[in-house]
A = this chain, B = another copy of it.
Amino acid sequence: MSTREESVLARVALTWLAEPGTRSVHRMVDVLGPVDTLDLLLDGGAPQEALRESVAARSGAGDARSVAAEALGNIDRLGARIVIPGDEDWPATVEELRRLHLPDAHRRVDLETAPPLCFWVRGPWPLAEALERSVAVVGARAATSYGIHIATDLGYGLADRGWTVVSGGAFGIDAAAHRGALNANGLTVAVLACGVDRPYPMGNAALFDRIADTGLLVSEWPPGAEPLRPRFLIRNRVIAAGTRGTVLVEAAARSGATQTTRRAIGLNRPAMVVPGPVTSAMSVGAHELLREQPTARLVTGLDQVLEEVGRIGELAPVPRGPDRPTDLLDDDARAIVEAMPRRGTVDVDALAARAGLAVRTVLRKLSTLEELALVVRRADGYLLAARPGRSGPAEQPER
């Protein structure tokens, strides 16, 4: 049995030798443990040729154990720490990535979606606790002011209600969600596709500093790792798996943000999509997800997001128009109100004919309507009571 220290070193080395998510490596770690897996791989004993090639190629740039040891040697200086499976702080939900299989997957990044081997973490919160009650808010980098507004509001509202806001630290929607949470003095977690020592993009440096002060920067890659393009997609599986649900705010067609949502769907987590103007290129991906994915849920705001991720019983109120006094009326009484002239009085017989009701029915209902102050009796007949802002059928009929 190896010590935690040996296990940490092996996991870091393995993540350096093969990109995180590689299923064959994860399966070997399951069976052999990380230390023996590392030994086997470095001895050229990987069962698949592609993996043997990859290990050999990476080893050409350095010795995996030394690279890992050096990274771990700097961990205190970086204010970072490492979390591995078995630690109290390991977020159990990411283990569900074992069972993630994306439909129509043929690209490596859609196939190699195994759980992480370790997390590098910067920030004052325990990782598992921070993710316990968390929602991912993701979307386009080239977001519109509409998307920024929505993401900021959602980030603020979720944090304000005690939820952790998880995103990827990118420009646009991601940054807006993080900022919203920070503005609410809430907890936010940026899951990075590079080392936690130099979060990408540089333009968000001040934001990353604020997140590291009060929330968490998290990465599978060791410090110094570059944000190579495929890593963003590899990282997205963690955002989907680490949270209780994912909200997509804006996405162009075929964007990485829709991939995070597809991973949430593949994990049976609530996948929520905020619609937008159909004239906006930045909502094309969002609408396409809603059209293609029967389980993707259209959400229009915080209440509906909380309904999806919250406890059963946290139901969002159904939006409805303003209450009208006539809502309380039965069909006959409503027919009478609607048959009354907008101006001037009407006698009971004419009213009965217009409403298609018996005179005695009209008389009975009129007395109710009088009590409700909806009609007024005059010497020459009945009159609709004046109501502020009331518009009659001739001006504004219900369609």
Using a CB–CB cutoff of 8 Å, the interface residues on chain A facing chain B are 17-19, 53-54, 56-62, 107-108, 138, 141, 146, 149-150, 168, 170, 193, 200, 226-233, 236, 252-257, 259-260, 274-279, 283-284, 287-288, 290-291, 294, 297-298, 300-301, 304, 318-321, 331, 334-335, 338-339, 349-350, 352-359, 361-362, 393-394, 396-399
Contacts and interface: CB of A to CB of B under 8 A. Distances in A.
Given A252-B321, A277-B276, A349-B60, A18 B331 contact: no
Identical subunits present: 2
Contact of A321 (B254, B294, B398): B254
B257 A168 contact: no
A62 B150 CA distance: 59
A195 to B, nearest CB: 14
A278 B275 contact: yes
Contact of A229 (B141, B226, B398): B398
B57 A229 contact: no
Contact of A338 (B17, B54, B230): B230
Contact of A284 (B277, B319, B356, B394): B319
13 contacts: A57-B356, A57-B359, A108-B335, A170-B399, A227-B394, A229-B397, A230-B334, A230-B398, A252-B321, A256-B398, A284-B319, A291-B297, A298-B298
A223 B293 CA distance: 49
A155 to B, nearest CB: 15
